[in-house]
Structure 1
Amino acid sequence: MTEKPLILEIGMGADVHGHDMTKAALRAVSDAIRHSSLTLFKAYKHPSQMRVEVTIAVPFPDQVNKQAVADALPYGTIEVTVIEGGLHDRGMGGKEDITLAVAGVKAFLDTEDHGFQLLDTP
Protein backbone atom coordinates (compact mmCIF):
# COMPACT_ATOMS: atom_id res chain seq x y z
CA MET A 1 0.00 0.00 0.00
CA THR A 2 1.27 3.44 -0.94
CA GLU A 3 -0.82 5.81 1.12
CA LYS A 4 -0.18 9.51 0.50
CA PRO A 5 -1.65 12.60 2.17
CA LEU A 6 -3.59 14.44 -0.51
CA ILE A 7 -5.53 17.11 1.35
CA LEU A 8 -4.84 19.24 4.42
CA GLU A 9 -7.37 21.83 5.45
CA ILE A 10 -7.56 24.02 8.54
CA GLY A 11 -10.81 25.31 9.98
CA MET A 12 -11.97 27.40 12.89
CA GLY A 13 -15.27 27.31 14.74
CA ALA A 14 -16.75 29.04 17.75
CA ASP A 15 -19.50 28.58 20.28
CA VAL A 16 -20.31 32.11 21.29
CA HIS A 17 -22.73 31.58 24.17
CA GLY A 18 -22.71 28.01 25.38
CA HIS A 19 -19.17 26.86 26.29
CA ASP A 20 -19.89 23.79 24.11
CA MET A 21 -16.59 22.23 23.00
CA THR A 22 -18.28 19.79 20.60
CA LYS A 23 -20.31 22.53 18.91
CA ALA A 24 -17.16 24.60 18.37
CA ALA A 25 -15.30 21.50 17.10
CA LEU A 26 -18.08 20.64 14.63
CA ARG A 27 -18.07 24.18 13.29
CA ALA A 28 -14.27 24.04 12.87
CA VAL A 29 -14.49 20.77 10.91
CA SER A 30 -17.30 22.17 8.77
CA ASP A 31 -15.20 25.26 8.05
CA ALA A 32 -12.25 23.08 7.01
CA ILE A 33 -14.11 20.71 4.69
CA ARG A 34 -16.04 23.48 2.94
CA HIS A 35 -12.70 24.62 1.50
CA SER A 36 -12.09 21.29 -0.27
CA SER A 37 -13.61 19.56 -3.24
CA LEU A 38 -12.76 15.88 -3.25
CA THR A 39 -13.06 15.23 -6.99
CA LEU A 40 -9.63 13.59 -6.97
CA PHE A 41 -10.90 10.83 -4.70
CA LYS A 42 -13.89 10.06 -6.88
CA ALA A 43 -11.75 10.03 -10.02
CA TYR A 44 -9.34 7.37 -8.77
CA LYS A 45 -11.10 5.43 -6.03
CA HIS A 46 -14.35 5.65 -4.19
CA PRO A 47 -14.19 8.34 -1.47
CA SER A 48 -15.04 5.77 1.19
CA GLN A 49 -11.55 4.31 0.69
CA MET A 50 -9.78 7.40 1.99
CA ARG A 51 -8.49 7.70 5.54
CA VAL A 52 -9.16 11.00 7.29
CA GLU A 53 -7.24 12.26 10.31
CA VAL A 54 -8.92 15.04 12.26
CA THR A 55 -7.11 16.95 14.98
CA ILE A 56 -9.21 19.27 17.13
CA ALA A 57 -7.70 21.83 19.51
CA VAL A 58 -10.06 23.13 22.21
CA PRO A 59 -9.57 24.46 25.76
CA PHE A 60 -11.22 21.41 27.38
CA PRO A 61 -10.49 18.34 25.19
CA ASP A 62 -12.36 15.89 27.41
CA GLN A 63 -15.60 17.72 26.63
CA VAL A 64 -15.53 16.96 22.88
CA ASN A 65 -17.71 14.15 21.59
CA LYS A 66 -15.27 12.50 19.15
CA GLN A 67 -17.96 10.31 17.61
CA ALA A 68 -20.06 13.38 16.76
CA VAL A 69 -17.02 14.90 15.03
CA ALA A 70 -16.36 11.67 13.07
CA ASP A 71 -20.03 11.47 12.08
CA ALA A 72 -19.83 15.00 10.61
CA LEU A 73 -17.49 13.83 7.84
CA PRO A 74 -19.18 12.29 4.80
CA TYR A 75 -16.58 9.75 3.63
CA GLY A 76 -13.74 7.52 4.68
CA THR A 77 -12.35 5.96 7.79
CA ILE A 78 -12.20 8.77 10.33
CA GLU A 79 -9.67 9.11 13.16
CA VAL A 80 -10.30 11.95 15.63
CA THR A 81 -7.69 13.28 18.05
CA VAL A 82 -8.52 16.06 20.49
CA ILE A 83 -5.80 18.17 22.10
CA GLU A 84 -5.69 21.18 24.37
CA GLY A 85 -5.62 24.48 22.50
CA GLY A 86 -8.09 26.85 20.93
CA LEU A 87 -9.38 29.77 22.96
CA HIS A 88 -11.71 30.22 25.88
CA ASP A 89 -12.30 33.94 26.26
CA ARG A 90 -13.47 34.70 29.76
CA GLY A 91 -13.22 38.44 29.24
CA MET A 92 -16.94 39.16 29.16
CA GLY A 93 -18.00 36.60 31.74
CA GLY A 94 -21.00 34.29 31.94
CA LYS A 95 -22.92 33.41 28.79
CA GLU A 96 -20.86 35.91 26.80
CA ASP A 97 -17.71 33.77 27.02
CA ILE A 98 -16.46 32.47 23.67
CA THR A 99 -15.03 29.03 22.98
CA LEU A 100 -12.92 28.70 19.86
CA ALA A 101 -11.85 25.40 18.28
CA VAL A 102 -9.27 24.81 15.57
CA ALA A 103 -9.43 21.75 13.33
CA GLY A 104 -6.87 20.20 11.03
CA VAL A 105 -8.34 17.71 8.55
CA LYS A 106 -5.99 15.49 6.52
CA ALA A 107 -7.19 13.03 3.88
CA PHE A 108 -5.04 10.11 2.70
CA LEU A 109 -5.48 7.74 -0.22
CA ASP A 110 -3.64 4.65 -1.41
CA THR A 111 -2.05 5.89 -4.64
CA GLU A 112 -0.56 2.58 -5.78
CA ASP A 113 -1.40 1.55 -9.36
CA HIS A 114 -2.84 4.93 -10.34
CA GLY A 115 -2.11 6.71 -13.58
CA PHE A 116 -1.08 9.94 -11.91
CA GLN A 117 2.28 10.67 -10.31
CA LEU A 118 2.79 12.51 -7.03
CA LEU A 119 6.04 14.43 -6.93
CA ASP A 120 8.11 14.29 -3.77
CA THR A 121 8.91 17.80 -2.59
CA PRO A 122 12.14 18.58 -0.75
Structure 2
Amino acid sequence: MPKTRVLTEFGMGTSLRRQDYTQAAKRALQDALWHNSINMAELFGFPKEAMLVDVEIAVQQPDQVDTTALSDIFPYGQITVTATHGGLDIPRPDGKPTVIANAAISVSFEMERADG
Protein backbone atom coordinates (compact mmCIF):
# COMPACT_ATOMS: atom_id res chain seq x y z
CA MET A 1 0.00 0.00 0.00
CA PRO A 2 1.20 3.55 -0.62
CA LYS A 3 2.34 5.87 2.13
CA THR A 4 -0.35 8.53 2.61
CA ARG A 5 0.36 11.67 4.66
CA VAL A 6 -2.54 12.71 6.87
CA LEU A 7 -1.02 15.42 9.09
CA THR A 8 1.81 17.97 9.13
CA GLU A 9 2.76 20.07 12.15
CA PHE A 10 5.41 22.77 12.52
CA GLY A 11 7.35 24.10 15.49
CA MET A 12 10.20 26.37 16.51
CA GLY A 13 12.66 26.05 19.38
CA THR A 14 15.71 27.85 20.70
CA SER A 15 18.89 27.39 22.67
CA LEU A 16 19.54 30.86 24.02
CA ARG A 17 22.88 30.44 25.79
CA ARG A 18 24.39 26.97 25.30
CA GLN A 19 24.36 26.74 21.47
CA ASP A 20 22.81 23.27 21.87
CA TYR A 21 21.35 22.32 18.49
CA THR A 22 19.75 19.14 19.84
CA GLN A 23 18.04 21.04 22.67
CA ALA A 24 16.74 23.69 20.23
CA ALA A 25 15.44 20.88 17.98
CA LYS A 26 13.79 19.15 20.96
CA ARG A 27 12.03 22.38 21.88
CA ALA A 28 10.87 22.79 18.26
CA LEU A 29 9.40 19.28 18.35
CA GLN A 30 7.69 19.95 21.65
CA ASP A 31 6.29 23.19 20.24
CA ALA A 32 4.77 21.24 17.36
CA LEU A 33 3.49 18.35 19.47
CA TRP A 34 2.45 19.75 22.83
CA HIS A 35 -0.14 22.15 21.42
CA ASN A 36 -2.09 19.36 19.77
CA SER A 37 -4.02 16.32 20.78
CA ILE A 38 -4.75 14.69 17.46
CA ASN A 39 -5.62 11.02 17.55
CA MET A 40 -4.81 10.19 13.95
CA ALA A 41 -4.33 6.45 14.45
CA GLU A 42 -7.71 6.01 16.12
CA LEU A 43 -9.38 8.23 13.53
CA PHE A 44 -8.30 5.87 10.73
CA GLY A 45 -8.66 2.66 12.76
CA PHE A 46 -4.92 1.92 12.97
CA PRO A 47 -2.83 1.01 16.00
CA LYS A 48 -0.56 3.86 17.13
CA GLU A 49 2.48 1.77 16.21
CA ALA A 50 1.40 1.97 12.53
CA MET A 51 2.04 5.72 12.41
CA LEU A 52 4.90 6.65 10.09
CA VAL A 53 6.36 9.81 11.63
CA ASP A 54 8.84 11.74 9.49
CA VAL A 55 10.63 14.56 11.30
CA GLU A 56 12.73 17.20 9.59
CA ILE A 57 14.84 19.51 11.74
CA ALA A 58 16.40 22.62 10.20
CA VAL A 59 19.38 24.23 11.97
CA GLN A 60 22.54 26.00 10.86
CA GLN A 61 24.72 23.08 11.98
CA PRO A 62 22.74 19.87 11.27
CA ASP A 63 25.73 17.67 12.13
CA GLN A 64 25.40 18.90 15.75
CA VAL A 65 21.88 17.38 16.15
CA ASP A 66 21.53 14.04 17.95
CA THR A 67 18.69 12.56 15.87
CA THR A 68 18.49 9.43 18.06
CA ALA A 69 17.77 11.56 21.12
CA LEU A 70 15.00 13.32 19.20
CA SER A 71 13.42 9.99 18.21
CA ASP A 72 13.05 9.18 21.92
CA ILE A 73 10.56 12.06 22.32
CA PHE A 74 7.89 10.04 20.51
CA PRO A 75 6.12 7.37 22.61
CA TYR A 76 4.99 5.34 19.58
CA GLY A 77 5.10 5.14 15.82
CA GLN A 78 7.88 4.45 13.35
CA ILE A 79 10.08 7.52 13.66
CA THR A 80 12.52 8.90 11.09
CA VAL A 81 14.46 12.05 11.99
CA THR A 82 16.49 14.04 9.46
CA ALA A 83 18.55 17.12 10.27
CA THR A 84 19.09 19.59 7.44
CA HIS A 85 20.56 23.05 6.98
CA GLY A 86 18.18 25.87 7.91
CA GLY A 87 17.01 27.63 11.04
CA LEU A 88 19.01 30.62 12.29
CA ASP A 89 22.04 31.41 14.37
CA ILE A 90 21.52 34.90 15.81
CA PRO A 91 24.81 36.65 16.72
CA ARG A 92 25.26 37.84 20.29
CA PRO A 93 27.78 40.33 21.72
CA ASP A 94 29.73 37.53 23.44
CA GLY A 95 30.31 35.85 20.06
CA LYS A 96 28.16 32.80 20.81
CA PRO A 97 24.94 32.69 18.78
CA THR A 98 21.41 32.05 19.90
CA VAL A 99 20.31 28.92 18.03
CA ILE A 100 16.87 28.70 16.41
CA ALA A 101 15.61 25.35 15.10
CA ASN A 102 12.58 24.68 12.94
CA ALA A 103 10.75 21.35 12.95
CA ALA A 104 8.29 19.78 10.54
CA ILE A 105 6.49 16.61 11.60
CA SER A 106 4.55 14.57 9.04
CA VAL A 107 2.34 11.66 10.06
CA SER A 108 1.48 9.06 7.43
CA PHE A 109 -0.04 5.60 7.19
CA GLU A 110 0.31 2.88 4.63
CA MET A 111 -3.20 2.92 3.15
CA GLU A 112 -5.11 3.39 -0.07
CA ARG A 113 -6.22 6.90 -0.92
CA ALA A 114 -9.97 7.45 -0.85
CA ASP A 115 -9.91 9.18 -4.25
CA GLY A 116 -8.22 6.25 -5.97
TM-score by length of 1: 0.84
- Give the match for residue 50 of structure 2: 49
1:50-65 aligned within 5 A: 50-65=51-66
- Give the match for residue 29 of structure 2: 29
Residue identity opposite 1:76 in structure 2: G
TM-score by length of 2: 0.88
Residue identity opposite 2:93 in structure 1: M
1:67-106 aligned within 5 A: 67-94=68-95, 97-106=97-106
Output one character per residue of 1:50-109: Cα deviation in whole Å (capped at 9) or x when no partner.
Answer: 1111000011111000001111112211111111111111133246x3100000000001
Residue identity opposite 2:50 in structure 1: Q
Distance 1:93 1:59 in 2: 19
Give me the CA root mean square deviation.
Answer: 1.8
SS of match in other structure, 1:67: helix
Go from structure 1 to structure 2 and tell me whether the alpha carbon gap of 1:30 and 1:118 turns closer, same or farther (over 3 Å shift): farther
Return structure 1 stretches of 4+ with deviation > 3 angstroms: 117-120
